[in-house]
Chain A
């Protein structure tokens, strides 16, 4: 074969071997990704043929518009201060057309009401951040503790490592269903255990049915399910720390606690940053647990960004609006990754 024919042959082989994967990635990842951005400027629906018109920033406006009204108290019945209905106030003011109340609080004598065009999204966003703030520290701390424990050189640690990891291979659907029973107000083992440990002083908690407890309950379960994964990553990180550092610290008389803060944590810095970001990304995408356990309830108390995207985009067939929610989700993830990379650059200097 001549050189040029050989090169043409090589090119063909290269194209042939990477072609199917590149085709798949283009059709099922790159195009939908670009489509997501494009759709946010339309009124595309799933089936209606007369949809898909350009609507500018309308979807973003509906999603992200926030406002507020401040009301002075009016003399009410029996001298108690009363307030006009927020709905009447916003209706009277063209600036607030399309806004609905999200929440309100007192400011001295006045009442401040936060308004949003899509209060459920605002609530979902706050729920999602709240969930991430609970689950990320909990899951990562649990994972690190488990990793330290199975790295302590005790007998049986390989077996226990497998035990701690086993929930990771269970499906989140199954885990969610089993825990729905465990969280049950009257029958669940968690309430029974709490009652036993507290000698009956803690009454039955309606975990998944209460607005204040539903998200923490889901966070607890999610941390339990996922911690084994991060444990293994921490374990790999721990084994990368030189034993000499520990020996040196010991010779200097450092306690276990000091060795942990001055040798283990600095040695795991990169791993910790990686694990935190990976866990946070997964947490911000929370969907399955909510869909199986609470369907976003009670009163949207467990609705999340992804749940809202699927609810609006697929179940109400408003593809354009669902895509807008997804794009906002992606923007949050991107910020997170950029922050992590900035941190890593700083550390590696």
Chain B
């Protein structure tokens, strides 16, 4: 195993100490979540009354669902929720197609300039999004786009305050292409050569040979990209000041800024967090693999 190896070499007391440490750390890692969940079922008075005891993390005493009723009934949380779902699914869906096709082209097709593009890609990997967010904002503020005015589709002069300004810039992703590229290169060449001999076109090879044998990398890219999109904050906060295209995270921050009702805030936070946490619990194995896959070599 490792340094803290168990088995015959490990004494009972050491093992006991390790268990205690693991459980203590587990508490450290779940207590804010427990607090959020518990407080979401309490009034301000109840939250304050329990804040100094273990009761802050355990749902005891007077509990209420009024916070959820309030948050769901007032404000636009469902609208923002829908926005976030649309943004996340469209970006991930389009991204899977666009990035895997590009990686297929780079890894499996012969064309001039391929090597140059592949090495450019590695350079692009080191540009953090933060470094380009300001000029990108200027760019999208002046791109012609489509919008609705009084129910009619009209041409607009800016992408600000739209759903697509939160989608289109993130579809093509250098890191996703890189992950696909690494994976596709590891698939034996004989697979596609056999298909080509049978008369398959490149796109058929992509669909029937490459995609079916690459499920792990598709899962990895979906999870990493999906998490990043769902939790995105910096970009919508600067490009979507209005309400109509606002995503959940900005909605949460705005709600937080305009209330002193902690119970409501925690109900809002719980509603946002539960879907992601549920996805994590269900696909835990895949989440773990994704992270390890993303860190194998940067």
Contact = CB atoms under 8 A, between A and B. Distances in A.
A288 interface: yes
Listed residue (B9, B132, B138, B297) with the most chain A CB atoms within 10 angstroms of its CB: B138
A33 B138 CA distance: 12
A233 B291 contact: yes
Listed residue (A154, A173, A236) with the most chain B CB atoms within 10 angstroms of its CB: A173
A82 interface: no
Interface in A206-237: 224, 228-229, 232-233, 235-236
A173 B233 contact: yes
Interface string B97-139: 0110110111001111010010000001011101111111111
Given A153-B7, A192-B51, A232-B288, A32 B136 contact: yes
B278 to A, nearest CB: 10
Given A288-B233, A334-B126, A187 B276 contact: no
A165 interface: yes
Contacts of A17: 101-102, 104-105, 109, 202-203, 206
B253 interface: yes
B191 interface: no
Interface string A9-31: 01101110110111111011111
A122 interface: no
B132 to A, nearest CB: 4
A125 to B, nearest CB: 15
Contacts of B238: 310, 314
Given A21-B102, A152-B4, A178-B36, A29 B127 contact: yes
A246 interface: yes
A162 interface: yes
A160 B26 CA distance: 7
The binding surface of chain B is classed by DSSP as helix
A288 B234 contact: yes
Interface stretch (B73-81, B148-156, B169-177, B212-220): B169-177
Listed residue (A174, A177, A181, A323) with the most chain B CB atoms within 10 angstroms of its CB: A174
A226 to B, nearest CB: 11
Contacts of A10: 109-111, 202
A116 interface: no
Contact-residue size bin, chain B (C-beta under 8 Å from the other chain): 35 or more
Given A13-B202, A39-B135, A326 B130 contact: yes
Listed residue (B2, B124, B136) with the most chain A CB atoms within 10 angstroms of its CB: B2
B136 to A, nearest CB: 4
Contact of A149 (B22, B133, B279): B22
B32 interface: yes
Interface stretch (A85-93, A106-114, A256-264): A256-264
Interface in A144-187: 146, 148-154, 156-157, 160-175, 177-179, 181-182, 187
Contacts of A250: 9
A281 interface: yes
A162 B132 contact: no
A166 B33 contact: yes
A11 B51 contact: no
Contact of A32 (B33, B135, B269): B135
A219 B78 CA distance: 32
A309 interface: yes
B292 A233 contact: yes
Given A20-B172, A188-B51, A171 B26 contact: no
B128 A25 contact: no
Contact of A171 (B19, B22, B276): B276
A21 B179 CA distance: 14
A285 B26 contact: no
A24 B291 CA distance: 25
Contacts of B237: 291
Contacts of A337: 126
Listed residue (A27, A154, A166, A309) with the most chain B CB atoms within 10 angstroms of its CB: A166
Interface in B22-66: 22, 25-26, 28-33, 35-36, 39, 47-48, 51-53, 56
A24 B269 contact: no
Contact of A31 (B112, B114, B139, B295): B139
Nearest to A195: B52
Given A23-B172, A278-B295, 19 more contacts: A32-B135, A35-B139, A36-B131, A39-B138, A46-B138, A153-B6, A162-B280, A164-B25, A165-B288, A169-B227, A169-B277, A170-B277, A173-B253, A174-B273, A182-B32, A187-B48, A236-B292, A325-B134, A326-B135
Interface of B: 1-7, 9, 15, 18-19, 21-22, 25-26, 28-33, 35-36, 39, 47-48, 51-53, 56, 98-99, 101-102, 104-106, 109-112, 114, 117, 124, 126-128, 130-139, 141, 168-172, 174, 177, 201-203, 206, 227, 230-231, 233-234, 237-238, 249, 252-253, 256, 262, 265-266, 269, 272-273, 276-277, 279-281, 284, 287-288, 291-292, 295-298
7 contacts: A25-B174, A149-B4, A264-B3, A309-B133, A319-B134, A319-B138, A323-B134
